[in-house]
Chains A and B, each alone.
Chain A
């Protein structure tokens, strides 16, 4: 906090000063105070207290007490609090006005935002959704709100990629349904779909960034995840993979300005894979000094006996390369409103400095929302999100610094990183020095993004609302990659400038009619949607950099350019009918008719829909039961959703230029003054039609002990049919390596549980527990007639298995050992692991004692294999932890010579190096338990605060990734898919920037 930059502080102080002036003018004279309690006499903190028809007001403190000044002792005070009936109380010349609030039965019904931004009471919903509140998201202190949802929402799996600041994250709802296509949920902001895919130059080992990171978590009121097809059918095809609905914060009617200032600072330390530190650099126990004799092997002598120049050798920590990362996150927001309008304005500055010295992520987010009642019938909402971010990345992968560092011998002193002649100093050949890379390369992604949304709600008659909503999502990305010439790699240096523009527009016109008769409620929605997405990338690549220090493409000896444009458009008409009977039964029917530009001409339009029923049977139960179980609902739904998960232009087979996107052996045309084209390697499919997702879901929602305990359970069975496989691999002998087909089928079955409990709620102490649990089994039913396998996808197997060389085993499963004592590889490759977890769960504990709050969040994954490539190389080079044990070993298994237990001893090194050729040896069970986040907060005493005009102030200490238990995984963080969010990259642990453990301090002030 001490490092908030000066400019920011000055700006902030002037805003505060201005706010103080305003309040000084408005208030005067008579003090009023009092205490607000509920019917049981328990004090209610956070109750709004406002003088009627003014902006003068306050909120009650943690003891339920309030204090404010009024000019007129005959005025009326308005007490409002969520879940309670708003009360108007005449002051009537009193100095103390105590109030007892009564619960508002109707308001207790939680209202959730469903598809298209339509609000429904949760009790009436016929399908499963789960809401996470904004404050809950903020507690996780993640730069991207997506990561904050990890483990909190049942049925939803979120996977982070590398530890690079701003790196991408993947969100899959109810299991993957597409083989090569997008499996990630649709992201929607206030009813408008926005782009959330991975972006940035990810070629040759750079982590990408998910564009969901452009949403500032501080502007989020709540996130509602629509999981099943019945919930998302109205969203149309894009919602088939689940929808993450973000509702942003707004102001409030008749609310005086509230300024909230939040400032956080955190420190991050890397989580590194285990390694051996007993043995130094060399081969067969012979020491290599790395200067004269170089090798990538750490099969040298024991460090404790190694003498160099007559002295005991020094051990150097290879991880000393990393620094402690820091993050500063400052947010200021103002919200309020008058009689006919309300506003919310927020600005935040996020500045993360990664654990590698040149990596970082900066984000400036600006958000504003303005709601006006234009007339008694028309309401308008204008909002704008503007985000400017700057992500700086270091290379990852086999030619990146992590590869060199993870293999760095402990006997090697990494400093200095240059030789006296200016060349790179390194222990091995053929790689760049990690420090040199930091000084001589960068990959910078700058994004400017605008999300403007205009919404008009017109209510001509009390039972009808017409909503017109127009939203845009405009993002402008500039990528600049620079790599200096490297003697070590034999490269001549390059510069890539790539600009990407995405323009997305969405329009919805919705008619929403509601009628009630004696026992029935009718609600009918009719809507029209138009959607357009235009994507453009311009790339210029300069090779052979001739001018030292000039980071400009004019320094290049050869410049190649490419351009790419794509347009995707969709239209849809949809209808939904909701019929309720006596608040006991609810039936919901939806239908939608979509048209898509990317499908074959005669398959452009396709219909789909859903039917769902809910039954609140607790209404029919006797009091003896409802005294304990006060709410119980069963629901059942069936839905089919069409989808066109395929890129534009997939219907034609075209010719592709052999430009830098499609070079031949690294050579981009024009070559020797000639252009070059070849037939696209992917055959177009002129008959493409939509794929389909069919789902049946049943669920139960119950509440016990006056809603102190809540249990929700859902079982779903979903099956994708006619699945589109863009670029499905076909035999190259056909002349092509892929085509797009409509033939995949994947089944997902799952159970989702959500348990809420409030075991203790007495006076100052309260304890809330939330447990989410997800169990999903999936299976690939079909790929393509005659084709049973596509890379990691095998018919009859779960989605994303690992396939490769395995140990040769006998019938009883014992590993076969050759006459030389080494394990044998099976003649044919096979399935060697399953990346899908058996189940995963999250446990949130919120404890409050007076002004002290404690939040502890654990999450757990059972199973889910990981391919540990770091260990694979570590075993080969002698850096893996296992290679600490050297000398002769007898491998457990059955000898092929006599079918008896193996007795032949082998050299440990030979064994480790042999098994690296057997991929199965580095497949590890990724089970983990993580203390993902914990935070301790304290609300400061209000007596101190009033003196400095603060309404409230809190200080929070929090930590992330504080503890990880992963018994079978030898890397650092089992949650990471190092290679990004692609389907085929999942659960591969590689040489990416390590993720980190962080400690954070946050101060929040409200004026």
Chain B
């Protein structure tokens, strides 16, 4: 009995001292608690290209703008059927893939004196915010990205977001001027750390977001055009300046547009876009559009009609929709069309005409269109008049920005290219995205009642 008791005491003592060590195994062997800015930047840049600029929301906009068509019966995205849950992933990616990681890059870089990383972080934050606010209007930013510190961030007014965008870009430009302890290299997929390029991006974006407010309450087209022209003097100056993501084209490293147009999606080109290129004898037609597999013809699908045979419709060429295609995010051609539009506002169609032509030439030469073909096209499309100037500038910008989410903003601002409601439409042509269900449930805010046809702040009638 005594023996048992002593064994018991011994075991108790043993367990008491051993427990602490035995239980001290909660250090994560899989995920680090600290990483450098470079590892976050590479991930954020890919997320911007892959999720924001070729993800679901970008694809939805192509359907709204009748660039792409879904070979499915009505109702579907082409006839404006959009559920709140459809955009859950897009919203989540903006905040949890892009903005939070860019915020950490900026914070770390400012602490470590890596001002180039801070600059890129701010410019890309401005770009991401701009893209998101153009899709949803009011969005959280000033109270956002604080984790459990604020679980219910209220939404900022779009006007405030626009101010944030401009100051983020200004701060980014200021950071470029500072010396940086470390400079980005291969982790900066876009420019490999070439900060002069980033400066051009910052100014071009400043111009873009100035022009977005041409009809915004409290802003005048002339004042915005003045600002844009001023910013563009430091903006992009050649096709080499384009902000773009290259994809190696391996099976697990595919361009997002390839995934959007792969057979499971049943996506193809819409008749509206294909027919407009055909009607204008645009030499870019075979460079942008692939003939239908079955017929060899350039045929787009008429949105709203019954589903047809997928292989009788055209799809994008490998240059745009291939697995190894390059994804254009912000281009020199856009800078030129912004300048053309601003010049039109300030100085009239005649002054805008040469800049407009430069925009066409820049895009066509990037695609390798022969000079003779460019000139022939300019002969029919190169002349602006007081009546057609804005329409032509926006139509050509639409082609140059093929698959870019920006065309949805431009259409809302200018009404061009002119679109009509598709057959079987569930509503008028959408003027925004609705808010995601994931936010409506987890962070209820008054703005979330917005309908797909409601206008964002700058989209004044």
Q: Which residue on A lies nearest to B98, using beta carbons? A: A678
Question: What per-residue 1/0 map shows which CB atoms of B25-65 lie under 8 Å from chain A?
Answer: 11111111111001110111011001100110000000000
State whether the Cβ of A737 lies closer than 8 Å to any Cβ in chain B: yes
**Interface flags, A911-925, vs B, CB<8A=1, else 0:** 001100100000000
A567 is an interface residue with CB less than 8 A from chain B: yes
11 inter-chain pairs at a CB distance below 8 angstroms, sorted by A residue, are: A292-B309, A544-B250, A557-B250, A654-B31, A665-B259, A729-B441, A732-B92, A732-B94, A736-B100, A737-B438, A829-B84
Judged by a CB distance under 8 angstroms, whether A657 is at the interface is yes
> A530–B246 contact, CB under 8 A?
no
Instruction: Tell me how far the C-beta of A187 lies from the nearest C-beta in chain B, rounded to whole angstroms.
Output: 24
A526 to B263, CA, bound (A): 65
**Nearest CB in chain B to that of A913: its residue:** B73
* Complex contacts, B186 vs chain A, CB 8 Å: 672-674
A530, A656, A736 — which one has the most chain B CB atoms within 10 A of its CB? A736
CB distance from B56 to the nearest CB of A (A): 10
Does A930 sit within 8 A of B, measured CB to CB?
no
B8–A731 contact, CB under 8 A? no
Q: How far is the CB of B66 from chain A (nearest CB, A)?
A: 22
How far apart are B31's CB and chain A's nearest CB, in angstroms? 4
CB contacts under 8 Å to B, within A633-664, are 648-649, 651-658, 660, 663-664
* Closest A residue by C-beta to B151: A730
- When distances are taken between beta carbons in the complex, the residues of chain B under 8 Å from A573 are 15
- When C-beta atoms are compared, the residue in chain B nearest to A827 turns out to be B449
CB contacts (< 8 Å) of A653 on chain B: these are: 33, 147
User: Of the candidates A656, A666, A731, which one forms a contact with B254 in the assembled complex, judged by CB atoms under 8 Å apart?
Assistant: A666
* A248 adjacent to chain B (CB < 8 Å): no
The yes or no answer to A466 lying at the interface (CB within 8 A) is yes
Q: Does A679 interact with chain B (Cβ within 8 Å)?
A: yes
State A544–B249 Cα separation when bound (angstroms): 11
Beta-carbon nearest neighbor of A297 in chain B: B73
Q: Which of B11, B95, B104, B307 is within 8 Å of A283, CB to CB?
A: B307
Bound complex: CA A668 to CA B438 (Å): 25
Most buried by A among B38, B43, B71, B443: B43
Give the docked Cα–Cα distance between A567 and B96 (Å): 28
Return A510 CB to nearest CB of chain B, in Å. 12
Q: Once the chains bind, are A492 and B147 in contact (CB under 8 Å)? A: no
> Which of B1, B39, B99, B259 neighbours the largest number of chain A CB atoms within 10 Å of its CB?
B39
Contact of A802 with B by CB under 8 A? no
Task: Kindly identify, within residues 66 to 81 of chain B, every residue whose CB is under 8 Å from any CB belonging to chain A.
Answer: 71, 73-75, 81
Q: Bound state CA distance, A673 and B43, in angstroms?
A: 12
A418 at the interface (CB under 8 A from B): no
B346 at the interface (CB under 8 A from A): no
Instruction: From the candidates A675, A731, A913, name the one contacting B442 in the complex (CB within 8 A).
Output: A731
Indicate whether A293 reaches chain B with its CB closer than 8 angstroms. Answer: yes
| B220 shortest CB reach to chain A, Å | 32
A509 proximity list for chain B (CB < 8 A): 11
The segment out of B16-24, B209-217, B279-287, B396-404 that lies at the interface is B16-24
A665 and B49 alpha carbons, distance in the complex (Å): 10
Cross-chain contact A665 with B251 (CB below 8 angstroms): no
What is the distance, in angstroms, from B440's C-beta to the closest C-beta of chain A? 9
Most buried by B among A564, A655, A666: A655
One of A52-60, A343-351, A595-603 at the interface: A595-603
Contacts of B29 in A (CB 8 A): 565
For the complex of A and B, list the 6 residue pairs with the smallest distance between their C-beta atoms, beginning with the closest: A735-B100, A544-B251, A731-B443, A665-B50, A490-B262, A676-B43
Contact with B along A271-284 (1 / 0, CB 8 A): 00000000000011
Q: Given contacts A528-B11, A729-B442, A731-B153, are A655 and B91 in contact (CB under 8 A)?
A: no
Residue A460 lies at the interface, judged by CB distance under 8 Å to chain B: yes
Beta-carbon contact of B251 and A598 below 8 Å:
no
| B140 lies within 8 A of A733 (CB) | yes
Q: Is A655 within 8 A of B100, CB to CB?
A: no
Partner of A734, one of B33, B42, B146: B146
Q: B6 contacts which chain A residues (CB < 8 A)?
A: none
A674 touches B95 (CB 8 A): no
Chain A, 304-334, contact with B by CB distance < 8 Å: what is the 0/1 string? 0000000000000000000000000000000
Distance in Å: Cβ of A509 to nearest Cβ of chain B: 7
Please give 16 more A-B residue pairs, beta carbons under 8 A apart, in addition to A648-B25, A649-B30. Answer: A429-B263, A429-B311, A509-B11, A528-B11, A528-B15, A654-B32, A660-B252, A665-B51, A671-B46, A676-B40, A734-B146, A734-B148, A735-B100, A735-B147, A876-B73, A913-B74
Q: How many angstroms from the CA of A854 to the CA of B44 in the assembled complex?
A: 67
CA distance A672 to B250 in the complex (A): 11
A156-209 residues with Cβ-Cβ distance < 8 A to B are: none
Q: How far is the CA of A545 from the CA of B146 in the complex (A)?
A: 43
Given contacts A283-B307, A655-B35, contact A560 B25 (CB under 8 A): no
Q: Does B187 contact A (CB under 8 A)?
A: yes
B residues near A431, Cβ cutoff 8 Å: 264
Bound CA–CA A665/B91 (angstroms): 14
State in angstroms the CA–CA spacing of A3 and B154 once bound together.
70
**Pair A460/B34 contact, Cβ less than 8 Å:** no
Report the interface size class on chain A: 35 or more
Quick check: A789 and B441 within 8 Å, CB to CB?
yes
Whether the Cβ atoms of A667 and B438 lie closer than 8 Å is no
Cβ A656 vs Cβ B31 within 8 A: yes
Contact check: which of B8, B81, B252 meets A544 at CB < 8 Å?
A: B252
Instruction: Determine whether the beta carbon of A649 is less than 8 Å from that of B28.
Output: yes
A576 touches B (CB below 8 Å): no
Binding site for A on B (CB under 8 A): 1, 4, 8, 11, 15, 19, 22-35, 38-40, 42-44, 46-47, 50-51, 54-55, 71, 73-75, 81, 83-84, 91-92, 94-97, 99-101, 103-104, 139-140, 144-153, 186-187, 189, 246, 248, 250-254, 256, 259, 262-266, 306-307, 309-311, 437-439, 441-443
Q: Which of A677, A679, A730, A805 contacts B100 (CB 8 A)?
A: A679
On chain B, the residues within 8 Å of A671 by CB distance are 42, 46, 253
A917 touches B28 (CB 8 A): no
| Cα A573 to Cα B42 with chains together (Å) | 50
Residue A880 at the B interface, CB < 8 A?
no
A558 pairs with B253, CB closer than 8 A:
yes
| A489 within 8 Å of B (CB atoms) | yes
A373 interface contact, C-beta 8 A: no
Q: Give CA–CA (A859, B151) in the complex, Å.
A: 46
By the criterion CB–CB under 8 Å, are B259 and A666 in contact?
yes
Q: A431-B264, A648-B26, A676-B46 are in contact. Are A655 and B251 (CB under 8 A)?
A: no
CA distance A829 to B22 in the complex (A): 49
- CB of B187 within 8 A of CB of A674, answer yes
- Considering the chains assembled together, what is the distance between the CA atoms of A654 and B100 in angstroms? 13
Give the CA-CA distance A560 to B151 in the complex, in Å. Answer: 36
Asked if B39 contacts A675 (CB within 8 A), the reply is yes
Question: Contact between A597 and B26 (Cβ–Cβ < 8 Å)?
Answer: yes
Whether B104 lies near A734 (C-beta < 8 A) is: no
A582 and B140 alpha carbons, distance in the complex (Å): 71
Decide: A729 near B438, CB < 8 A? Known: A558-B250, A571-B22, A679-B100. Answer: yes
Decide: A530 near B22, CB < 8 A? Known: A490-B262, A652-B33, A735-B96: yes
Alpha-carbon distance between A604 and B54 when the two chains are bound, in angstroms: 46
Q: How far is the CA of A783 from the CA of B117 in the complex (A)?
A: 40
Does residue A364 face the partner (Cβ distance < 8 Å to B)? no
The answer to whether B439 touches A732, judged by C-beta atoms less than 8 angstroms apart, is yes
Closest to B88 in A: A732
**B147, A736: Cβ atoms under 8 Å?**
yes
Asked if A399 is at the interface (CB within 8 A of a chain B CB), the reply is: yes
Question: Chain B residues near A876 (CB, 8 Å)?
Answer: 73
A294: which of B47, B251, B309 is its contact (CB, 8 Å)?
B309
User: A829 touching B438 by the CB < 8 A rule?
Assistant: no
In the complex, what residues of B have CB within 8 A of residue A293's CB?
309
Q: A461-B1, A528-B11, A654-B33 are in contact. Are A399 and B264 (CB under 8 A)?
A: yes
Tell me the minimal C-beta distance from A607 to chain B in angstroms. Answer: 14
Q: Does A388 contact B (CB under 8 A)?
A: no
- Of chain B, the residue at the smallest CB distance from A529 is B15
Chain B residues with CB below 8 A from A656, complex form = 31
| A43 proximal to B (CB < 8 A) | no
